[in-house]
């Protein structure tokens, strides 16, 4: 006896979902077909700005004004932190500088101390002076430190008690350098710049100027250096 064969109909396989292409957004129906899609918009990179230097400007003040780091500002203009800027000079203000890095730069950073000290170059030497009309060595240092919030004494021997001692090999910009120019006690002080140079109010030169620690006179009389916190 032969049994009749019943025809069977296979159930249709469920359609496979289709994932949206990478990098697109839009609505997708149950079958995976895109109803609408568009490319993720990419914002254009910010453009650099430019600033024309005015009388009295300092690099660290310009950096702080535009919320960029001093390092980024100097690198963008291929200059150093100690470069002299002049009225009318055009500076590039970098757009990619980190604002967080700019905020981390202290208002009392060594670079700012050096910049402020260098701004007094050419001021006449005046014993016991502490103004732009005239200043002596400790007057220059005390004035610079006070402008940055440190109530420093107008006395080289008292200044030698501030901060922590550092060796000649460890000198960094902003460190104070001390000398014995007469007698056995501290009698002269300046602010270290970089590359063996320091700025000070020189009685011999008659003004605030830059000299080298390697020169015979100062090399023989250097007795120590201090770093402020």
- Collapse the DSSP code of 184 into the 3-class scheme (helix H, G, I; strand E, B; otherwise coil) and give the result: coil
Query: What backbone torsions phi and psi does residue 36 show, to the nearest 5 degrees?
Result: -155, 150
Q: Which of 82, 137, 148, 154 is catalytic?
A: 137
Query: What backbone torsions phi and psi does residue 215 show, to the nearest 5 degrees?
Result: -70, 150
Q: Give dist(CA 138, CA 80) in Å, integer.
A: 27
Q: Give dist(CA 210, CA 200) in Å, integer.
A: 7
Q: How far is CA 178 from CA 17, 55, 77, 144, 193, in A?
A: 79, 32, 34, 16, 14
Confirm whether 200 is a catalytic residue: yes
Rg over alpha carbons for the chain, rounded to the nearest Å, is: 33
Asked if 196 and 213 count as a contact pair (C-beta separation under 8 A), the reply is yes
Active site residues: 137, 188, 200
């Amino acid at each position: 006896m032969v049994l009749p064969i019943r025809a069977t109909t296979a159930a249709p396989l469920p359609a496979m979902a289709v994932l949206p292409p990478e990098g697109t957004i839009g609505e997708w129906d149950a079958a995976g077909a895109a109803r609408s899609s568009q490319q993720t918009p990419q914002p254009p990179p910010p453009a650099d700005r430019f600033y024309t230097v005015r009388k009295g400007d300092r690099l660290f003040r310009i950096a702080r004004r535009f919320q960029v780091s001093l390092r980024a500002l100097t690198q963008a203009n291929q200059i150093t932190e100690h470069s002299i800027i002049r009225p009318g000079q055009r500076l590039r203000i970098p757009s990619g500088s980190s604002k967080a890095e700019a905020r981390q730069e202290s208002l009392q950073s060594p670079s700012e101390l050096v910049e402020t000290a260098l701004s007094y170059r050419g001021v006449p030497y005046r014993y016991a002076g502490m103004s732009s009309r005239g200043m002596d060595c400790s007057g220059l240092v005390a004035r610079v430190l006070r402008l940055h919030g440190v109530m420093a004494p107008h006395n080289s021997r008292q200044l030698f008690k501030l901060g922590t001692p550092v060796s000649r090999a460890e000198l960094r910009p902003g460190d104070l350098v001390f000398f014995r120019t007469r007698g056995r006690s501290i009698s002269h002080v300046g602010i270290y710049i970089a590359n063996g140079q320091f700025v000070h109010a020189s009685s011999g030169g008659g003004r605030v100027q830059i000299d080298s620690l390697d020169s015979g006179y100062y090399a023989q009389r250097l007795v120590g250096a201090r770093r402020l916190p």
